[in-house]
Structure formats: structure tokens, C-alpha cells
């Protein structure tokens, strides 16, 4: 029997590239970038710069487009073999490899150009940021800690956005960055549980492969506890009041609910836990933090 795979192509070229980079998943990094940015606005007198706001949004968008498209580019052969990912844009040739490479280069250059218009420090550090977010794509070939490298890439958002205004490092945005690192690593462990059998065959490394699904879930819980711990430390360190702690409770509740949905022998709700709940949690939390800073 010949099995036919039906690929639903986006209706236009722009839509295909949006699908390639899963543009709506920018929600994972943008809310915490906004927290770093508004912390900087608060520190520099409370004035909100529309110019800085737009440039930071563009920087996050271009950096994420570069990282996501490069991940798809680097993994094209792996994705082609994996039944779960074989319908993606590159394996199914909805987008060609040369077109994807051009998209990566254009977005990387646009990211560096945006950093140039922010301040010299951001511009000089922009190649380092690109190296981190693109380098993640190869980590699963040699380490089970690839989830941590993904978290590291997204954790650049709060401190990077803060530096876009202040041009220096500070403890408070770093606490948010560390929280993002463990938050992302924790939910990426859950997501990786879908591919354990495939990864074992292809000799790809991940924490679920290394520890097994049950122990991987326990480590994911530990990572999320550490993430919440960094947020609590940020709340005690920064100029926050009651609104912050309400947001903290909502964020924590959604993280707990995420873990109630996923079990080692039942991964049917992984997408709900990974995409929906984490996106909602980050947006709500950022709204509460920013409201606390300026109300």
C-alpha cells in the first residue's frame, strides 16, 4: 500500500515563510523582551520611547526568524525522515533550500541593522546573539542538554531589550533571563518526548532519550520550579508591588496546569501544553509586570 501525505500549502509566498518560522510562536520570546524593555524605561525616567519599542520588536522578530529558519535548514534531512515533521516546508519542498538560506541571511542582516540603530553595544554583541540562537540547531547531535541551549537563546530577550535602552547589564533583567532559560528548557523537554523513538534510531540526543520519559518529566518540573524561583527573586529585588505577584500566581498556575496535562504514557495534549499554555502564560505575566511598573 502506498501512503499519501497531503501537505496543506499556505496560500501565498509570505504565508509560506510565516509558516516556516511559525511566526505566532514569537509569543514565547516577545513578552519577556517587553519586560526587559519596560524595566529600562522605568529606570531611565519612566518615559516610553516608541522608537525603542518598535526597534526591539523588530530585533526580536528578525532574530527569531533567523534562528527558526536556520533550524529548519540545518535539520532538513532529519525532518524528512521523521513522520511528524516530514510535511514541513523544506522537506516537502514548499520552500527550496536556496530560498530558505536567502531568508536566513536577510533576517540576520536586518537583525544586525536594527541593533545598529539601537546602540553600539547592541550592534557589537549582535553577532554573538546570532551565534547562540543559530548554534542551538546542532546541539542535539552531540549533547542531551540541547533544551538548555534553546533556553539560552530565548533568554537573551529580556537582557537584550534592557540593554537596547540602557546600554549596560543589570541584575534584575538577568534574573528574568535566567527564568526564561529554565522555563523554555522545561517545556522543550516536554515537547521532545514526542520524538523519543525516532531520536533513538537516528542517534539524536535529548533529555527524554537520556533519562526516559518519566524522569524527563520530573526534570522538566524541576526546571520550572527553578524558573519560578528566579521570578520570585526578581519580584523581591525589583520595584514591584501587588500587581506583580498576582501575575506571578497566574503564571505559576498555568505552568502547574501544563504538567497536569502531560503524562509519560499520554502525550495527546503536548501541543496544548507546549504552544497554547506557554504562550498565554508569557503574555499574561508580561502584562501584569508592565502594569505593576507603570500603574
CATH 3.40.190.10 fits 13-294, yes or no: no
In 99-208 the beta strands, taken as DSSP E runs, fall at: none
Q: Would you state the pLDDT for residue 4?
A: 37
Query: At residue 116, what are phi and psi to the nearest 5 degrees?
Result: -60, -40
Q: Would you state the pLDDT for residue 27?
A: 72
| Residues 79/85, Cβ–Cβ less than 8 Å | yes
| Residues 53/164, Cβ–Cβ less than 8 Å | no
Query: How far apart are alpha carbons 158 and 174 in whole angstroms?
Result: 7
Q: Would you state the pLDDT for residue 12?
A: 58
Q: Measure Cα distances from 45 to 41, 49, 119, 166 in Å.
A: 6, 11, 18, 11
Specify the long-range contacts of residues 51-55, CB closer than 8 Å, at least 24 apart: 52/118, 52/164, 52/165, 55/114, 55/117, 55/118, 55/164
Cell numbers standing for residue 281 = 502564560
Strand partners, 266: 263
Residue for grid cell 537582557: 159
Query: At residue 263, what are phi and psi to the nearest 5 degrees?
Result: -130, 155
Number of CB atoms found within 10 A of residue 105's CB: 13
Q: Mean pLDDT for each consecutive 10-residue tract of the chain (295 residues)?
A: 41 79 79 97 92 97 95 95 93 93 97 97 97 96 96 96 96 97 95 94 96 95 98 96 97 93 84 80 96 93
Query: At residue 92, what are phi and psi to the nearest 5 degrees?
Result: -90, 0
Query: How far apart are alpha carbons 160 and 156 in whole angstroms?
Result: 6
Query: How far apart are alpha carbons 70 and 147 in whole angstroms?
Result: 17
Strand partners, 263: 266
Domain map of the chain by residue range? 13-294
Euclidean distance between the first and final Cα of the chain, in Å? Answer: 64
Amino acid at each position: 500500500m502506498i501512503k499519501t501525505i497531503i501537505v496543506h500549502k499556505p496560500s501565498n509566498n509570505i504565508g509560506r515563510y510565516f509558516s516556516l518560522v511559525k511566526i505566532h510562536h514569537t509569543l514565547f520570546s516577545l513578552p519577556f523582551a517587553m519586560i526587559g524593555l519596560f524595566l529600562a524605561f522605568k529606570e531611565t525616567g519612566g518615559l516610553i520611547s516608541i522608537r525603542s519599542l518598535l526597534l526591539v520588536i523588530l530585533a526580536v522578530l528578525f532574530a527569531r526568524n533567523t534562528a527558526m529558519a536556520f533550524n529548519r535548514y540545518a535539520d532538513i534531512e532529519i525532518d524528512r525522515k521523521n513522520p511528524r515533521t516530514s510535511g514541513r516546508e523544506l522537506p516537502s519542498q514548499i520552500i527550496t533550500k536556496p530560498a530558505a538560506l536567502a531568508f536566513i541571511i536577510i533576517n540576520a542582516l536586518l537583525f544586525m541593522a536594527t541593533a545598529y540603530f539601537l546602540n553600539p553595544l547592541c550592534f557589537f554583541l549582535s553577532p554573538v546573539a546570532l551565534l547562540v540562537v543559530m548554534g542551538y540547531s546542532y546541539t542535539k547531535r552531540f549533547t542531551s542538554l540541547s533544551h538548555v541551549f534553546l533556553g539560552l537563546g530565548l533568554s537573551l530577550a529580556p537582557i537584550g531589550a534592557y540593554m537596547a535602552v540602557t546600554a549596560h547589564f543589570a541584575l534584575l533583567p538577568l534574573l528574568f533571563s535566567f527564568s526564561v532559560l529554565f522555563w523554555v528548557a522545561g517545556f522543550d523537554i516536554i515537547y521532545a518526548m514526542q520524538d523519543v523513538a525516532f531520536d533513538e534510531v537516528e542517534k539524536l540526543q535529548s533529555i527524554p532519550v537520556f533519562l526516559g520519559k518519566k524522569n524527563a518529566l520530573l526534570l522538566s518540573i524541576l526546571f520550572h520550579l527553578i524558573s519560578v524561583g528566579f521570578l520570585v527573586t526578581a519580584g523581591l529585588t525589583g520595584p514591584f508591588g501587588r500587581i506583580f505577584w498576582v501575575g506571578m500566581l497566574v503564571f505559576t498556575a498555568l505552568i502547574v496546569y501544563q504538567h497536569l496535562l502531560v503524562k509519560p504514557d499520554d502525550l495527546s495534549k503536548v501541543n496544548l501544553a507546549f504552544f497554547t499554555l506557554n504562550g498565554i502564560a508569557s503574555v499574561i505575566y508580561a502584562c501584569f509586570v508592565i502594569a505593576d511598573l507603570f500603574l
